[in-house]
Homo-oligomer: A and B are copies of this chain.
Amino acid sequence: MRYSLIFPKTQKNAPTGAESINHKLLVRAGFIDQLMAGSYTLLPLGFRVVEKIKDIIREELNKTDAQEVLMPLLHPREIWDQTGRWSDPDVKQIMYQFKDIHDKEYGLSFTHEEIVMNLLGKFVQSYKDLPIKVYHFSTKFRNEPRAKSGILRGREFMMKDLYSAHISEEDMYIYYNKVIEAYKKIFERIGLSIKVVEASGGVFTDKNSHEFQVMSEVGEDTIYYCQACDFAQNKEIFKGEEGENCPKCKDGKVKSAKSIEVGNIFPLGTKYSKKQNVFYTDKDGKQNPLWFASYGIGPTRILGTLAEVFHDDNGLIFPKSVSPFNVSLISLGKNEQAQKIHDLLEEQGIEVLYDDREVGAGEKFAASDLIGIPARLVVSEKTGEKVELKKREEKETNLLTIEEVLSRLK
């Protein structure tokens, strides 16, 4: 891809009013643009990163036999009344609810439990129809009182939400634990180090849920975790103090940290199926409620988290797996050679961002650093027939033949 085609180009200054690092850097680098508080356009570079995050999520969820769907965003009040959540004061604070010109009442999706259970109710009759695992990537709307942390907390954002329905609690937890493993794999592939943290169920369930937390000073959550074992609880439910012995392994000390929640999963149980009257017939002809669970990951919040966790004074630094391009390419007066390398890399399936603009070397280097592609190639008079390769996070450069470049990038 030629950088001249990409809209928009990098900016020298952060937008006025931007407070968080992810907001400043992602706007300056041309990944996002703010439409209004808490609402952002994914620009071409940001879109590419989110697509890569989505593909990783999709691949790992498909391995659990989950099926991708797409559910509506505009919901009729009646279905939300079935569980009483329409009128829950906590829900009314964050769910956009309104009447249309014909006085019909709608809510905008802030989650999809009721809608999925309604769907299941139309098709599930027997134990033979279960389990069911469906997910979608779709827009969520939450009227957040505070929307100052860039794309970490938006009023409109993208979420992957997965729902599973089962014949028993045991079957639900078998799949629930499978999803925990899938999530670990997802975050590992994205390059984020996470902690699996016990938390409260919020407006979703009375049971404890599990959060996937990335430690970061800008996080809005506080977690308590053991230095020795995998014990970790959200501040809301942790009954103890920092420095205590771990209540699980009794050995390590409990520490606290700020963190960003990038995923959250809920063992919802039979609350939704009972309230929405969705039952299945078991082998003995008896009617039983469905066991239900939901599982969220925020791809746009992950983009924000990557910006917070991986950057330096010069800009973003993307992990390979989710970088908008595999490599950036800069020509200093050797456009013909650069174009040939660009074409060759694309032929080989290597995504290259070639800065073909007629601007100074300094501007090209600054843009490449700001965008944060993990590898950079330069061709100039100095490099001759060879190509200079530099990793984004290192100072060292290597003068290589094009064949050597290809084998390193593959």
Contact = CB atoms under 8 A, between A and B. Distances in A.
B47 A68 contact: yes
Contact of A44 (B67, B73, B115, B158): B67
A203 interface: no
Interface string A249-282: 0000000000000000000000000000000000
Interface string A106-123: 101000000100110011
Contacts of A47: 68-70
A5 B67 contact: yes
A53 to B, nearest CB: 13
Given A96-B98, A123-B8, A39 B72 contact: yes
Contact of A75 (B35, B44, B50, B115): B35
Given A7-B134, A74-B141, A96-B98, A118 B35 contact: yes
Contacts of A93: 101
Copies in the complex: 2
Interface in A18-46: 33, 35-36, 39-44
Contacts of A70: 41-42, 47, 50, 158
A134 B43 CA distance: 9
Given A44-B134, A98-B96, A36 B122 contact: no
A76 interface: yes
Interface in A71-100: 71-76, 92-93, 96, 98-100
Interface of A: 5-9, 33, 35-36, 39-44, 47, 50, 65, 67-76, 92-93, 96, 98-102, 106, 108, 115, 118-119, 122-123, 129, 132, 134, 139, 141, 143, 155-156, 158
20 contacts: A5-B65, A7-B67, A7-B123, A7-B132, A8-B122, A8-B123, A33-B119, A35-B72, A35-B118, A41-B119, A44-B68, A44-B69, A44-B134, A73-B139, A74-B96, A74-B156, A96-B98, A98-B98, A100-B143, A102-B143
